[in-house]
Chains A and B, each alone.
Chain A
Amino acid sequence: MKERLYELKQEALRRIDEAKDVKALNDVRVAYLGKKGPITEVLRGMGALPPGERPKIGALANEVREVIQQALEAKQAKLEQEEVERKLAAEAIDVTLPGRPVRLGNPHPLTRVIEEIEDLFIGMGYTVAEGPEVETDYYNFEALNLPKGHPARDMQDSFYITEEILLRTHTSPMQARTMEKHRGRGPVKIICPGKVYRRDTDDATHSHQFTQIEGLVVDRNIRMSDLKGTLREFARKLFGEGRDIRFRPSFFPFTEPSVEVDVSCFRCEGHGCSVCKGTGWIEILGAGMVHPNVLEMAGFDPKTYTGFAFGMGPERIAMLKYGIDDIRHFYQNDLRFLRQFLRV
């Protein structure tokens, strides 16, 4: 009988092992552990044994039953697991297929540059002033120390509407307008971005419409060294730490002294390359100390107040920053161009 139980155990374990699915496993369960199964049968036949043997065989039969039961459960779990895995495998997708696109747009590159510069100066305590694009001759020229007949104001270069009204040729009129609002009392600390217009034929480097950013600080004790420090700070924030600036003397009717400001080349670190035309420096700003006539006309006493002003062209900065080669791109609105300015 003992042998018979061992035999049954081996047989059942083999069949469990062979079972391919839950149903086959159930068959095994019914076949061996069912009420009419062979183990039950063995137990029934125990009456023929000597009483001393019975408990032993009984215990053995239970043990066999137990072993089979456990094997069944283990196999059951395994089969269920496989079932789940099969099902999930069947649900697999190609993760390399394209995702559902989210529509994205982005700012114009000039807006990116202007907002970056606005933020940078806001961080230094400036506010943003905006003014009319159609200006009076007075604010565009006269208040900026460019009286009628001054050689630096050629009628041919400006879009006049009438003798007294024109499209502003620079954002500088905001200097006078802002100062007038302050009624002779500082401090004034503004930057003025905006569109300006010149009578130029559009080509790769000229545009009859373009943008400018003007900056103005007027207060007691403003020094030219403050202009240098401010613009160096600006250059470093816009073009990277380690940038340096240099002043070259120049002439603008509304500032004196006047300078042109170069930034050390951000491409070659000043060693010379195609961006800086081998000089290591890139011209990006015009600046200077506000001319006393300008202060005076706007109601500030030049003996008490001094100031500095600077102006720059977002087009030029964007062209340098992004390597754009033709100014007309900014106004054609070709999506193949605009789409390139998505990344922050």
Chain B
Amino acid sequence: MLVSYRWLNEYVDLTGVTAKELANRITKSGIEVERVEALDRGMNGVVIGHVLECEQHPNADKLRKCLVDLGEGEPVQIICGAPNVAKGQKVAVAKVGAVLPGNFKIKRAKLRGEESNGMICSLQELGVEAKVVPKEYADGIFVFPSDAPIGADALEWLGLYDEVLELSLTPNRADCLSMIGVAYEVAAILGREVKLPEAAVSENSEHVRDYISVRVEAPGDNPLYAGRIVKNVQIGPSPLWMQARLMAAGIRPHNNVVDITNYILLEYGQPLHAFDYDRLGSKEIVVRRARTGETIVTLDDVERKLSEEHLVITNGREPVALAGVMGGANSEVRGDTKTVFIEAAYFTSPVIRQAVKDHGLRSEASTRFEKGIDPARTKEALERAAALMAKYAGGEVVGGIVEANAWREEPVVVTVSLERINSVLGTAMTKEEVAAILSNLQFPFTEDNGTFTVHVPSRRRDIAIEEDIIEEVARLYGYDHLPATLPVAEAKPGHLTPYQAKRRRVRRYLEGAGLYQAITYSLTSPDKVARFALETTEPIRLALPMSEERSVLRQSLIPHLLEAASYNRARQVENVALYEIGSVYLSKGENVQPAEKERLAGVITGLWHTHLWQGEKKAADFYVAKGILDGLFSLLGVDHRIAYRPAKRADLHPGRTADIWLDGTVIGFVGQLHPATQKEWDLKETYVFELALAELLNAESEAIRYEPIPRFPSVVRDIALVVDENVEAGALKQAIAEAGKPLVKDVSLFDVYQGDRLPDGKKSIAFSLRYYDPERTLTDEEVAAVHERVLAAVEKQFGAVLRG
């Protein structure tokens, strides 16, 4: 809502309060003033001039040479490029020395050899937004009414010595979509009176019922429909002050009748529509839902298909307006209109919202109906409009109002006690303070022993319950006066849940291990949605996606992590190590909330470690990724329950991928990207992993129990075993540990060899075995016996032989 300071001053005395101060006070008490704009934009030296002569410029086709009387001294010659400049016009002239917006100084000049002493201005040149400039002046200079005084300050006549406050209204404050509504708000803030406009009409002796009847067939959508006939109007421009106010409020002036309806819309917040009575094509108005297949050509010359969800104004046969949104072209007020039917109606929000949505039409009128108007002011607005049409369009108001009125004002009475106000706010207000605030709001009330009974005026439809009154009191009392306290309650300590605490430890571990935390989008494209997923379902698709790229909910974190890696690589960051903890979304059927499962995923590519001047350089590989996971499993105390098993998964290298098992369940995988997939994301050798985080974090980890530190020396024996190349080191190690029980305490692999010194198809794997008995020092014989047993076991199971 754009509010002219000077216009507002007509309803509330703003003496002593500048526009800036007013803006601050309005903002502090609840309605944000986004900006205050001075319409004069630093201009000066612009006067009303009279074009005495106007002839073609001798050297330029598009220029005119004008002689202009500026009301002082000799008339001056001005060269003007506007196509509409003509002899006899009253125009805005920026004199030599004048300043226009943007600190543009007007100087004496020569244009194609002809002297020019100033500039004849368009409204745009005077800082008026092009979209509100009247159409006839849109491509040329502005022309004042012929009675405008020569030499007078043009900016004053155009109402540009004014400031406009732009209010940003929350949906509950639709009452401030009108000057009168804003006036009540400002009056409450300043503690001043509201002066309402004059709405008295003088009628002729005829009666409206002889002209028109009204029938509403959809009273739910249209509880109140009222109208008046104004005859013998003369269509022409509206008074300049009215045009200026409309432009300041962001509305383009058209003609006196249409401008008056818009003026009333701004003043009362009541949208009106003016029909050309003679073009209505009947003597009746019927308001009803449209019929499927019906159409209407609206004022903007667009043919619109209607349905039963839309409300229309008809002449009994066909629609003449899309109710509350836009009039029909067939009954539009034109230059030759003689008799006007003014409609003032209350349309309810849902039916208007539907029409706005279906037709993509949002207007000043529809916005107000959507947010809710005050039906108690509908007829008053109609009266004022008729009065103004009589005054400014030379009309004659036909006696009486035609109406269909099913609306009954429901009184809203709210009671609230002083004690409740103070206990909700934490304040110590007195009865008198609360009473003063209610009086300033002009809410009628009674007070009995600290209990206020408030009769809420219909203009404040947002107020219905006790809390609404408390809020009004609080905002006008001023939140700066609210004390700052802390809740008085037993102090129970806060905490993270065990899951949350563990998840934080996982984060810190991964970061300590060298991974950066990424956060990627949950929405992805259908072609990526199920790739890499540990578990898939029918994708969950948005009803109305903004793009295909973000149309379904992800089932794995890896695709977007690969995108991040690729994004980095494209920016010369080749070494990437990222992890993410986030949800994937698995459908449980239509219209049911999906399962949201937390995953932990990572991507590693490029060099893992470099320390070049000492000759160290290590590219990321499978074992780097696996090592990080190993550490994680140890941290969570599940390492002994984890197994890696070779696996084949789409998009992953078939020989370099392992499923990760926790007890008997696959909880994740780690692997190298398949070369084709790598290429697709424009990556080099890349490793990824993804784990089901909840399964991992919820796995019971054994409580820590101290084990005595060894008191006796242990014995270490190394063995190198030659086996077939397809024997898994993990299996071999397990067999050794098993066979060595209970004396073999640790088995660690320290070498793998395959090459010239071994037969084809063979490899050697070397382990270090630590023998230990907590009760005593082992003898060589005891160790040797177990060692033999181990060798026998691996020979039997794997055909392993000691490497000679």
Contacts and interface: CB of A to CB of B under 8 A. Distances in A.
Interface of A: 97-98, 100-101, 103-108, 110-111, 115, 118, 121-128, 130, 132-136, 149, 151-152, 155, 159-165, 167, 187, 189, 195, 197, 199, 201, 208-209, 217, 219, 221-226, 228-230, 232-233, 246-251, 256-259, 289, 291-292, 306, 330-336, 338-339
Main secondary structure of the interface of A (DSSP, over half): mixed
Contacts of A126: 494
Contacts of A292: 465-467
A250 B30 contact: yes
Contacts of A201: 546
B468 interface: yes
Interface string B562-579: 001001100101001111
A110 B516 CA distance: 13
B190 to A, nearest CB: 16
Contact of B521 (A111, A124, A209, A250): A209
Interface of B: 27-30, 32, 170-173, 349-350, 353, 370-371, 423-427, 465-468, 470-471, 474-475, 479-480, 482-489, 491-497, 500, 504, 507, 510-523, 540-546, 550, 553, 564, 567-568, 571, 573, 576-579, 582-583, 585, 590-594, 596, 608-611, 613-614, 616
9 contacts: A101-B610, A149-B353, A151-B371, A199-B544, A199-B546, A201-B546, A222-B487, A249-B479, A335-B576
B494 A123 contact: yes
Contacts of A128: 496-497, 500
Contact of A338 (B467, B518, B582): B518
A188 B585 CA distance: 29
A133 B482 contact: no
Q: Report, nearest first, the 3 A-B pairs whose CB atoms are least far apart.
A: A225-B426, A103-B514, A223-B426
A104 B426 contact: no
A192 to B, nearest CB: 12
A217 B371 CA distance: 32
B483 A225 contact: yes
A105 B510 contact: yes
B483 A228 contact: yes
Given A100-B611, A195-B522, A249-B475, A121 B494 contact: yes
Nearest to B493: A125
A106 B486 contact: no
Contacts of B515: 105
Nearest to B585: A134
A105 B514 contact: yes
Interface centre among B489, B492, B520, B610 (most CB of A within 10 A): B489
A258 B471 CA distance: 8
B27 to A, nearest CB: 7
Contacts of A122: 494-496
Contacts of B553: 134
A167 B582 CA distance: 15
Contacts of A247: 479-480, 482
A220 to B, nearest CB: 8
A173 B426 CA distance: 27
Contacts of B353: 149, 151
Contacts of B480: 246-247
A104 B579 CA distance: 13
Contacts of A135: 593
Contacts of A331: 519-521
A121 B540 CA distance: 35
A256 B170 CA distance: 13
B170 A250 contact: yes
Given A209-B521, A251-B173, A161 B494 contact: no
B521 A257 contact: no
